[in-house]
Amino acid sequence: MIRPFIWAHRGASYHAPENTMAAFTAAVEGGADGLELDIHLSRDGVPVVIHDETLERTTDGCGPVAGMALLQLQQLDAGGWFSPEFYGEPLPELEEILRTFSGRLRLNLELKEFHAGMAVLELLSQYPSADIVVSSFDYDLLYRLRSVDGNIPLAVLFDSGDWCHAVNLAKELSACSFNPGVNLVNRPMIAACVQTGLPVFVWTVDVARVARSLVRAGVSGFFSNDPAALRSAFRRLVPAP
């Protein structure tokens, strides 16, 4: 059985507040192969790391992320909602993640809004050696990024609609992977990708039995909230070389 690539979904978000430095650090310590993070823009156009369009669920702020400037967002508590142990954990700026982790492991930047595209490309130009993948559900955005940069690694996320259409689009974009949700992935989809050399990474998978059966079907890797647990389940099956 192959050794799957394990992305830490929003960091090790089972153990620490999602999309915070604490979650990313825990993921690295737990042996994740890469970090997945979600990007929005602050009011002043700076890429920041948060999943939702609004602040309520994962911070002590309220309203849209785009309603606050970076300096205001940086005052928020993005950890106390998860557990008192993480009270005061800040909402990170993408640049801080690039500064801290590029050169150490691969980073998957999921762009949650069209307008973040150009700001992220501009920031990435300052980190030429960063090992990154840019992913999105917004296919117009992926086309736009490809038209601006012929080489940037792009991943196509899939959560609804016609999977054949989405796989063809991934091929057209010369995407580096096709990333379907675990409830939508199926054998013909995996076969269609594998036949043309397009790796499949499935989200979100925390159950080792599910992961093993997907690897047998041809999947290359996973997004997991508990990458250390998934890694150790595979380590028992695939000893390190």
123 binds ligand G3P (CB under 6 A): no
- Is residue 51 part of the annotated active site? The answer reads yes
Q: Which two tokens stand for residue 45?
A: 């156009």
Look at residues 142, 116, 79, 105 and name the one whose alpha carbon lies nearest to residue 7: 105
At its nearest, how many Å lie between Ca ion and the CB of residue 38?
5
Q: Classify the C-alpha dihedral 104-128-7-214 as positive or negative.
A: negative
Cβ atoms within 10 Å of 129's Cβ, excluding its own: 6
**Quick one: residue 34, left, alpha or beta (phi over 0 = left, psi -120 to 50 = alpha)?**
beta
Two tokens at 201?
């990474």
Q: Which of 19, 20, 42, 135 binds ligand G3P (CB under 6 A)?
A: 135
Q: Applying CB under 6 A, does 40 fall inside the site for ligand G3P?
A: no
Q: Tell the smallest beta-carbon distance from residue 201 to ligand G3P (Å).
A: 8
Binding mask 176-215 for ligand G3P (x = CB under 6 A): ---x-----------------------x------------
Which residue in the set 4, 6, 9, 111 belongs to the binding site for ligand G3P (CB under 6 A)? 9
Q: Which residue in the set 38, 89, 93, 226 belongs to the binding site for Ca ion (CB under 5 A)? A: 38
Write down the catalytic residue from 9, 15, 40, 165: 9
Contact 204, 226 (CB under 8 A): no
CB of 157 to ligand G3P, least distance (A): 5
Task: Provide the mask over 104-123, with x wherever binding to Ca ion is found by CB under 5 A and - wherever it is not.
Answer: ------x-------------
Please give the sequence-ordered ranges of beta strands (E in DSSP) within the chain, or none if there are none.
Answer: 5-9, 34-41, 47-49, 106-111, 132-136, 154-158, 177-180, 201-203, 221-224
Should residue 18 be labelled a site residue for Ca ion when binding is judged by CB under 5 A? no
Catalytic residue numbers, as ranges = 9, 51
